[in-house]
A and B are shown apart, each in its own frame.
Chain A
Amino acid sequence: MHGLLDISTLHYLVLGAALFLLGVIGVLTRRNVVIVLMSIELILNAVNLNLVAFSRYWQGMSGPHGGPMALHGQVFAILVITDAAAEAAVGLGILIAFFRNKETVNVDEVNLLKW
């Protein structure tokens, strides 16, 4: 087992898992659409933390995939941040259009497509 004071990749993974779970709880239980979107940001950040932690892990490894140039995780993290920006823009645009129609941001009342 790792020592608690010797920070390893696993520490970052556990922190990422905790943040991911917080985001999942927020998405599943909150009724305010804005806070649901923020919880999604929390989930994306947990994934980013994992990606960067794995990038550092592979930089410390030797072999064909490891080495100091193994920055693939960081590139992935940048692409995920791009995706988060696009998602926030479109999601908040949808939210504004919805608020204009129904005068609420309660996710329980987003049922126009419900059959």
Chain B
Amino acid sequence: MNPPVATAFFFYLLAATMIIGGVLVITRKNAVHSALALITALLAQAGLYLMLYAPFVAGVQIILYAGGIMVLFLFVIMLISIERNMKERQFNKQWLIGIVAAAALGGLFIAVYTTTTRGQQLFPEGRLAYGEAQNTQAVATLLFDRHTGTYMFSFEIASLLLLVAIIGAVVMAKKRI
């Protein structure tokens, strides 16, 4: 199997797209701009999934997240009037505490990720030697197969969750509850 071409370049390109998109999501005043930045970040993440040899998850990411969920968000943004909200203050009074809490969490991440046990990094390099041609089939085998389908029950629970969510959304959006 040939070594991948320019992996580092594409990783940093997609990572920078995701970070910039994430920063724009939490800093823009207009919710529509935030949604567009989030769509950009989600598409870049789909590219990262492809780099991780997960083409099925990448497809689900594009179709479901960037296509479905974000359209739902944009619909709701257009249902509620955003003009008044844009004139208000955008950040609440606890922004300082929020940033301090996030910094503490970031310190925890750094502490964990730089941990070495017996001179070894926590996550040593795992090299992948297999192609992605069978990826969708393999995921389906884990989800559905009668003998090796470890996640069949989880799948059924997920479908039940979606049913409950549909009913809940319809009830919530009714005129009179």
Contact = CB atoms under 8 A, between A and B. Distances in A.
Contacts, number: 253
Contact of A10 (B72, B88, B102, B123): B123
A15 B52 contact: no
B72 A45 contact: no
Interface in A63-115: 68-69, 71-72, 74-75, 77-79, 81-90, 92-97, 99, 104-108
B66 to A, nearest CB: 11
A56 B52 contact: yes
Given A92-B76, A106-B88, A23 B22 contact: yes
A86 B169 CA distance: 9
Size category, B interface: 35 or more
The SS class assigned to the B binding surface is: helix
Nearest to B11: A7
Nearest to B74: A34
Contacts of A84: 65, 69
B92 A30 contact: yes
Contacts of A85: 64, 68-69, 162, 165
